[in-house]
């Protein structure tokens, strides 16, 4: 595929109003791709519109919104060539105390929305025998942590889903790539501290909850403890442009170290390692 042809490819990026999604949409637009940036908060994407992106209002948990945006792209540009499944949220709190309806909603956003969008874009990719599906997981798609079970479970599920999808779609020249961010300076990073303490701060898991909250506050306050979202935008662009991309890209502060220790330590040794990190 020539570079000139590649610049005309059409990308759909979810969670485009902030953080990694916005950085990815910006990186793709600057590189010449046609970019649809999807999010609920369209008003926060005026800067992307100025770069040539096409903002679209989408709630990824609503099937009618997902169908509508894919149909719009098909009418206007022939179909989605590149899907960046980035929309996500984090729910922290003990398994015992975190509300189950919140856990279900997290799976709707972090997992089932990605799966549904994938179903909708695959026919076009398969017919043209070319496509890129980029699923933004997390370092916690490989590494567990206390009080993060519902979030970690959603990312573990996305990793397994992506591995199966990659094997299924390789015959159609469709690449499936997993992105595993480490500590990234995005709104999602600090947004879970208050819910964490609301759910588990005063109960039987309160000591761990407060240690975790303090750890994240201290990390956020120190320079160099989180990577800019632009790093992930550049990483995703690299994966999309690669003729034969890696199956996984881990980038951002701390993620490669954490994955390394998880790979080589036993389960209980890693449990102790995580608890020592929290102090």
Catalytic pick among 33, 36, 92, 151: 151
Distance (Å, rounded) from C-alpha 154 to C-alpha 248? Answer: 17
Cβ-contact 233, 23 below 8 angstroms:
yes
The DSSP secondary-structure symbol of 132 reads E
Alpha carbons 4 and 231: distance in angstroms, whole number: 25
Task: Return the structure tokens found at 122.
Answer: 């695959």
* Separation between Cα atoms, residue 235 and residue 38, nearest integer Å: 20
| C-beta separation of 173 from 129 below 8 A | yes
The whole-angstrom separation of Cα 156 and Cα 150 is 10
Taking a C-beta distance cutoff of 8 angstroms, is the pair 19, 186 a contact? yes
Chain centre to alpha carbon of residue 95:
22
- The answer to whether 92 is a known catalytic residue is no
Separation CA 6–CA 134 (nearest Å): 16
Question: Which residue's structure tokens are 């969008």?
Answer: 117
Asked if 10 contacts 53 with a C-beta cutoff of 8 angstroms, the reply is no
Cα gap 69→80, rounded to integer Å: 10
Q: How far apart are CA 127 and CA 172, in angstroms?
A: 8
Active-site annotation, residues: 151
């Amino acid at each position: 595929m020539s570079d000139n042809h590649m610049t005309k490819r059409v990308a759909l990026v979810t969670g485009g109003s902030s953080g990694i999604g916005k950085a990815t949409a910006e990186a793709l637009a600057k590189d010449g791709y046609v970019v649809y940036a999807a999010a609920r908060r369209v008003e926060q994407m005026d800067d992307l519109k100025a770069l040539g992106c096409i903002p679209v209002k989408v709630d990824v948990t609503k099937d009618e919104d997902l169908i509508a945006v894919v149909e719009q792209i098909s009418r206007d540009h022939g179909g989605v060539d590149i899907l960046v499944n980035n929309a996500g949220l984090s729910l922290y709190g003990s398994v015992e105390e975190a509300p189950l309806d919140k856990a279900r909603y997290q799976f709707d956003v972090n997992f089932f929305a990605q799966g549904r969008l994938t179903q909708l874009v695959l026919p076009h990719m398969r017919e043209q025998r070319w496509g890129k599906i980029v699923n933004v997981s997390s370092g916690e798609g490989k590494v567990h942590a206390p009080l993060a079970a519902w979030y970690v479970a959603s990312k573990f599920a996305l990793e397994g889903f992506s591995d199966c999808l990659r094997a299924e779609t390789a015959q159609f020249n469709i690449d499936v790539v997993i992105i595993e961010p480490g500590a990234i300076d995005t709104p999602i990073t600090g947004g879970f501290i208050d819910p964490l303490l609301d759910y588990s701060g005063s109960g039987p898991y309160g000591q761990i909850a407060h240690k975790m909250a303090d750890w994240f506050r201290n990390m956020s306050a120190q320079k160099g403890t989180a990577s800019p979202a632009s790093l992930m935008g550049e990483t995703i662009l690299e994966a999309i442009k690669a003729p034969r991309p890696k199956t996984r890209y881990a980038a951002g502060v701390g993620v490669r170290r954490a994955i390394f220790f998880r790979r080589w330590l036993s389960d209980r040794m890693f449990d102790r390692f995580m608890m020592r990190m929290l102090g």
